[in-house]
Amino acid sequence: MAALRLFLGVGLEQPLQRIVQDWRQQQDASLRWVADSNLHMTVVFLGMTEDSRIPLLADVVMAHTQQHGAFSLAWQTVDWFPSAAKARVLAWLPAAAEDFACWQAGLVAQLRRAGVAVERKPYRPHISLARVRRAEPALSLPQPLHATMAVTAITLFRSDSTADGVRYTPMQHWPMKKPV
C-alpha cells in the first residue's frame, strides 16, 4: 500500500484558464503564478491517504455527485489568502453561494460517515492564482477578475512535489447528475 496526497476539486476548463491568462498579463510580474495546469478549486482536502481507500472514496463521491445536479459559481473577488496580514496566496474568491456550501458540507459529512479522513479546517472556496514570496513587502491588490464557472464534475487529484514545484494530477472524475 502507498499513501498519496489527495484532494477532491474542480479543475478550470480552457475558456476559464484563458480568462485567467489574459488577466495575469496585466498584473504585477513579481508574483509566482500558479501553472495553468494546476488551476483548480479544492472541494475537500484529504491529505495523505492510503491508495487502498480510493475505491471507498470513489463510491461516496459517485453517490454524492449523482444526487446533485451541476451548478455555477460566480468568481468576483481577488484577495490575499488566508488574510492580508498573513498572505501566502493571491486567491480568486467566489460570491457567497449557499447551494454550493450545502453541497460541499454534505459531501464532507458523507465522507466522514464512510470513515474517510478529511481536513478539519473551516472550508473557504478559492482558486489560488499566485504564491507570495515570504520576504515580499505588502503588495497592492490586483484588478478585479470576474467570471462564472460551471461545476459539472468533481475530480480526485494527486498532489506531488517535484523539483519544478507541485504538480496536480487528475486520477478519477465524477460528473454531476444530468438535469431532467
pLDDT digits (tens, 9 = 90+) for 81-112: 888 778 888 899 999 999 999 999 999 999 99
In a domain, 32, yes or no: yes
Residue 90: CB atoms within 10 A of its CB come to 25
In the numeric block, which cell numbers belong to residue 177?
Answer: 447528475
In the numeric block, which cell numbers belong to residue 127?
Answer: 482558486
In a domain, 123, yes or no: yes
* 56-72 residue pLDDT tens: 999 999 999 999 989 89
Looking at the DSSP bridge assignments, the partners of residue 150 are 72
Average pLDDT, rounded, for the chain: 90
In the numeric block, which cell numbers belong to residue 81?
Answer: 489568502
pTM, rounded to two decimals: 0.91
In the numeric block, which cell numbers belong to residue 20?
Answer: 485567467
Q: What is the pLDDT of residue 165?
A: 86
Q: Write the CATH number for 77.
A: 3.90.1140.10
| Spatial contact of 144 and 102, defined as CB atoms under 8 Å apart | no
Q: What is the pLDDT of residue 12?
A: 93
> How far is 113 from 105, CA to CA, in rounded Å?
12
In a domain, 136, yes or no: yes
> How far is 179 from 51, CA to CA, in rounded Å?
32
CA-atom Rg of the chain in angstroms:
17
Range of the domain at 135: 3-175
In a domain, 180, yes or no: no
In a domain, 94, yes or no: yes
> How far is 75 from 93, CA to CA, in rounded Å?
6
In a domain, 130, yes or no: yes
pLDDT along the chain (180 residues), means of 10: 94 93 82 92 97 96 93 92 83 92 96 95 93 66 88 96 92 84
In a domain, 137, yes or no: yes
Q: What is the pLDDT of residue 37?
A: 92
Question: What is the tally of structural domains in the chain?
Answer: 1
| Spatial contact of 11 and 150, defined as CB atoms under 8 Å apart | no
In a domain, 46, yes or no: yes
Q: What is the pLDDT of residue 81?
A: 85
In the numeric block, which cell numbers belong to residue 71?
Answer: 451548478
